[in-house]
Structure 1
């Protein structure tokens, strides 16, 4: 565990003053409070730390070292690389706030990395960023923040925490291009009461302007593009390293089970995928319809075969209060929310939905509010889901 020396807080620039005055920290007399900020070394969390410091509160920056060894050491664009820890420390030093680094690599490996590999082997498409948010990012950080006597934990996520009649509500970020609510559906009501998201109403350009105005060295730092623990975006390579049998070859078959070709391993495919099948001479384009881990088969078919009428969800997290009836569901991070209804653990779509992959999350909304969500365990073709 390391910390930065404390210095006097530099004066905030005009952008920081203007935005800082608009943020509702939902704290009585913030100047007498303690705020812990989750710091990744990027521009978003750095600006959150600056805005928190501008309230006059005692601010502590905390960075979790999740995956900073081997191939990931020094990897630019990785949220856990050594460079990012140094950047977070430099920002805290600039702001005159304490900075602590906690080694949580072991729990991250168990909760996120190993599960990522196992999901691919089981023929599912994992979302490690959700697992990280519901594990080390929030559970561990919340525990640390409370141990440090903090009144709240602030992060740089682009979502909004809105005071509702029954308590705090989670809403989408105001900038659709930056909204991260899909990845936070697993946030519990108890966690939401303690969390703060100061950037939820801001566009990224405004955040960078604040960082530049405050003289933060990360103002122009590129956003992370890949999963932090996957070097060069080579997902299959990492799974192969962790699970040597992941590259077992198998057949590519049509909906009737007729062989059409061979593949080099299920880890290279996901439901809805069209490229990489390397099957020629077909009358129409073929897509991955499902993966069969027991037989190692990749089942392909026309786009119509991807039409899903319902999905079965597991581990549903509900933060929607007493909401009942129709809602909207988002089944991929880049998908648009579509009308649906939830009947127990069964999510029924109003119209056929395409590319619904087991292993992904289905996140539920009522307008801008996040109601919760669950993991897609299985899907029903349109003909069976009426």
Structure 2
């Protein structure tokens, strides 16, 4: 019997970004905010031999009252990004997205606050500016992919790319990226998502000799100085801070407030109605009547959370109901819930344990149980409560 020897088939070698070609032939557009995270991404990819192009967005007029020193994408940050590009030797461009940012993010932020919601403009910025307009710019530059400094992981699944939480739960930004579409995810890369801590990122920055290695993290929304949301709303919508009544759940007037925009669901301090017995919390905002509605802490407990504008990643929308983990605020860990899709863009989430301070305008992000995978998410709308 004659044995026929077959030449073994060598697997196609992929570079670190998942492409079957050398890094030098792989063009990557890096979204650079001027902070340490995106700077390290650009420097790291350049050091690995990729064809890197840095792009920084000018999102608002740096001389306007809305801008603040040290804010994301403010003038100093643009200079910091440019210096990183000069040091590492790759081209860097600044794109004026001021009008798009104002129309797509800032105007809605103001209107949402006036409607009694608590918006998350960073999500809208990712959805409508960075991962839409900037991503298209990257395609126009013939890039193979676009990389960002977000702390989140993109993993290859059995069918398509999957979105997963960052390895460092303290830095995880999956809450802010739930609206990423599958098409966008196929094009995006997140080189920092696997790092165990921010200290590793700063160590890499020092290794590359970047001046931003010790630059503080931005803590506030980029166009909101010192977290003073009301001041920004009053500037954008003059007369928005009209005073009104603080009432209990029966409509009894307990005091006066200085404008609905100064209050948020769950707020206890600064109501100016002390001495009325048990502590009272803001449980609802009624901008039409200019009412701040207060009640006891147990009135904040919520189990049913209606969600709209749902973005599904992977297998959704699902039929029937499925167990999931959900995050309803960026600062809180995922918690068990039942997800009931109502149609392609709406769903109802039932929390297994009541949550306090669930606010319309915040995001509700779905995760696969016993996994780090992001299944999608949507925006919390007006809700009804179950007694507890």
TM-score with structure 2 length normalisation? 0.91
Q: Residue 341 of structure 1 is aligned with which of 338, 343, 358? A: 338
Deviations 1:283-324 (A, max 9, x none): 211111000011010000011101112111110000032566
- 1:341, CA displacement in angstroms? 1.4
4+ residue segments displaced more than 2 Å: 68-77
Q: Residue 55 of structure 1 is aligned with which of 48, 58, 63? A: 48
Q: Which residue is 1:12 aligned to?
A: none
- 1:72, CA displacement in angstroms? 5.8
- 1:135, CA displacement in angstroms? 1.0
- 1:193, CA displacement in angstroms? 0.4
Q: Which residue is 1:312 aligned to?
A: 306
Classify the secondary structure of the residue corresponding to 1:70.
Answer: coil
In structure 1, list runs of 5 or more residues that go unmatched: 1-21
Q: Which structure has more helix as a fraction of its residues?
A: 1
* More off after superposition, 122-131 vs 24-33: 24-33
Over 3 Å counting, the alpha-carbon distance change for 1:181 and 1:23 in structure 2 is farther
Query: Is structure 2 residue 250 aligned with structure 1 residue 282?
Result: no
Classify the secondary structure of the residue corresponding to 1:92.
Answer: helix
* More off after superposition, 72-81 vs 49-58: 72-81
Deviations 1:177-234 (A, max 9, x none): 1111000000000000000000001111000000001101110111111111112322
Classify the secondary structure of the residue corresponding to 2:239.
Answer: helix
- 1:23, CA displacement in angstroms? 8.6
Over 3 Å counting, the alpha-carbon distance change for 1:354 and 1:55 in structure 2 is same
Query: Is structure 2 residue 29 aligned with structure 1 residue 27?
Result: no
Q: Is the 8 A contact 1:169 1:370 kept in 2?
A: yes
Q: Residue 123 of structure 2 is aligned with which of 114, 122, 130? A: 130
Query: Is structure 2 residue 62 aligned with structure 1 residue 69?
Result: yes
Kindly report which structure 2 residues correspond to 1:1-386, keeping only aligned pairs within 5 A, or say none. Answer: 24-29=16-21, 30-71=23-64, 75-202=68-195, 203-321=197-315, 325-343=322-340, 344=342, 345-366=347-368, 367-383=371-387
Q: Is the 8 A contact 2:301 2:385 kept in 1?
A: yes
In structure 2, list runs of 5 or more residues that go unmatched: 1-13
- 1:70, CA displacement in angstroms? 2.7
Classify the secondary structure of the residue corresponding to 2:380.
Answer: strand
Write the distance in 2 (CA, Å) between the matches of 1:255 and 1:334: 28
Q: Is the 8 A contact 1:72 1:229 kept in 2?
A: no
Classify the secondary structure of the residue corresponding to 2:382.
Answer: strand
Write the distance in 2 (CA, Å) between the matches of 1:75 and 1:282: 40
Q: Is the 8 A contact 2:67 2:225 kept in 1?
A: no
Classify the secondary structure of the residue corresponding to 1:130.
Answer: helix
Q: Which residue is 1:17 aligned to?
A: none
- 1:54, CA displacement in angstroms? 2.1
Number of aligned positions between the proteins: 363
- 1:245, CA displacement in angstroms? 2.0
- 1:74, CA displacement in angstroms? 7.5
Write the distance in 1 (CA, Å) between the matches of 2:303 and 2:25: 53
CA RMSD of aligned residues (A): 1.6
TM-score with structure 1 length normalisation? 0.91
Write the distance in 2 (CA, Å) between the matches of 1:109 and 1:212: 35
Write the distance in 2 (CA, Å) between the matches of 1:110 and 1:190: 24
Larger radius of gyration: 2
* More off after superposition, 98-107 vs 51-60: 51-60
Write the distance in 1 (CA, Å) between the matches of 2:32 and 2:170: 22
Q: Is the 8 A contact 1:247 1:265 kept in 2?
A: yes
Write the distance in 2 (CA, Å) between the matches of 1:70 and 1:213: 34
* More off after superposition, 315-324 vs 61-70: 315-324
Over 3 Å counting, the alpha-carbon distance change for 1:302 and 1:320 in structure 2 is farther
